[in-house]
Amino acid sequence: MTFTELALIEPLLRALDVLGYHTPTPVQAQAIPAVLAGRDLMAAAQTGTGKTAGFALPLLQRLAAETTPVGPQSVRVLVLVPTRELAEQVFSSFCDYGHFLPLKYAVAYGGVGIGPQITQLRRGVDVLVATPGRLLDLLWKNALRFDEVQTLVLDEADRMLDLGFARELDQVFAALTRRRQTLLFSATFSDAIRALSVKLLHSPERIEVSPRNSTVQGVKQWLVTCDKKRKTELFSHLLKKNGWSPVLVFVRTRKGAEALLETLLHQGFNADAIHGDKAQAGRQRALSRFKSGEVSILVATDVAARGLDIDDLPIVINFDMPSVAEDYVHRIGRTGRAGAGGLALSLVCADEVKMLAAIEALIRQTIKRVEEPGFAATHRVGQTAPEGQQVIHKPKKPQKSKAPGASAGGKRKPLKIGRSGGRAAASKAPGSRPAKPAAKPRSR
**What CATH number should be reported for the domain holding residue 362?**
3.40.50.300
**CA–CA separation, 275 vs 367, rounded Å?**
27
Mean pLDDT of the 33-39 span: 95
Does some domain include residue 406? no
**CA–CA separation, 278 vs 230, rounded Å?**
27
Does some domain include residue 435? no
Q: Fill in the amino acid letter for 35.
A: V
Q: Of 176, 208, 240, which closes a domain?
A: 208
Q: Has residue 402 got a pLDDT over 70?
A: no
Pair 54, 194 in one domain? yes
Distance of CA 314 to the CA centre of its chain: 19
Report pLDDT for 408: 43
Q: What are phi and psi of 266, to 5 degrees?
A: -65, -35
Pair 153, 120 in one domain? yes
Report pLDDT for 426: 40
40 CB neighbour count, 10 Å cutoff? 21
Q: Fill in the amino acid letter for 408.
A: A
Q: Has residue 194 got a pLDDT over 80?
A: no
Report pLDDT for 432: 45
Q: Of 318, 335, 370, which closes a domain?
A: 370
Pair 223, 150 in one domain? no
Q: Has residue 442 got a pLDDT over 60?
A: no
Report pLDDT for 406: 46
Pair 303, 194 in one domain? no
The mean predicted confidence, pLDDT, of the chain is: 83
Report pLDDT for 412: 43
Contacting residues for 371 by C-beta, under 8 A, at least 6 apart: 224, 225
pLDDT digits (tens, 9 = 90+) for 69-90: 999 999 999 999 988 888 998 9
Q: What are phi and psi of 238, to 5 degrees?
A: -65, -40
Q: Which of 139-153, 198-212, 275-289 has the lowest mean pLDDT?
A: 198-212
Does some domain include residue 127? yes
**CA–CA separation, 411 vs 408, rounded Å?**
8
More confident call, 341 vs 124:
124
Mean pLDDT of the 108-135 span: 94
Does some domain include residue 413? no
What is the maximum alpha-carbon separation in the chain? 108
Domain tally, the chain:
2
Neighbour-count burial of 149, counting CB atoms closer than 10 A to its CB (0-12 exposed, 13-18 middle, 19+ buried): buried
Report pLDDT for 409: 44
- CB distance 328 to 362 below 8 Å: yes
The domain of 316 spans 219-370
Q: Has residue 167 got a pLDDT over 70?
A: yes
Report pLDDT for 166: 78
Q: Of 370, 392, 423, which closes a domain?
A: 370
Report pLDDT for 391: 56
**CA–CA separation, 234 vs 226, rounded Å?**
8
- Decide the pairing of beta strands 181-186 and 151-155: parallel
**CA–CA separation, 52 vs 56, rounded Å?**
6
Q: Fill in the amino acid letter for 146.
A: F
Does some domain include residue 382? no
Pair 341, 194 in one domain? no
Pair 138, 161 in one domain? yes
Pair 77, 202 in one domain? yes
More confident call, 378 vs 122:
122
Mean pLDDT of the 127-154 span: 95
Report pLDDT for 405: 46
Q: Has residue 192 got a pLDDT over 90?
A: no
More confident call, 324 vs 404:
324
Pair 180, 317 in one domain? no
pLDDT digits (tens, 9 = 90+) for 242-292: 999 899 999 999 999 999 999 999 999 999 999 878 887 888 899 889 988
Report pLDDT for 213: 55
Does some domain include residue 424? no
Distance of CA 233 to the CA centre of its chain: 26
Sheet of 219-225, strand order: 271-274, 297-300, 247-250, 315-318, 342-348, 219-225, 368-370
Classified as helix, coil or strand, 134 is helix
Q: Has residue 132 got a pLDDT over 80?
A: yes
Q: Has residue 156 got a pLDDT over 90?
A: no
Confidence band, pLDDT 50/70/90 cuts, at residue 295: very high
Q: Fill in the amino acid letter for 90.
A: V
Pair 248, 167 in one domain? no
Does some domain include residue 381? no
Q: Has residue 217 got a pLDDT over 80?
A: no
Confidence band, pLDDT 50/70/90 cuts, at residue 415: very low
Report pLDDT for 433: 46
Mean pLDDT of the 118-134 span: 95
Across 290-300, b (16+ Cβ under 10 Å) vs e yields bbeeebbbbbb
Report pLDDT for 443: 42
* DSSP labels, 320-358: S--SSHHHHHHHHTTSSGGG--EEEEEEE-GGGHHHHHH
Pair 146, 224 in one domain? no
Report pLDDT for 380: 81
pLDDT digits (tens, 9 = 90+) for 348-393: 999 999 999 999 998 888 999 988 999 988 888 877 765 556 555 4
Does some domain include residue 444? no
Question: What percentage of the chain carries pLDDT values higher than 70?
Answer: 79
Confidence band, pLDDT 50/70/90 cuts, at residue 303: confident
Pair 196, 226 in one domain? no
Q: Has residue 140 got a pLDDT over 80?
A: yes
Mean pLDDT of the 409-426 span: 41
Pair 284, 358 in one domain? yes
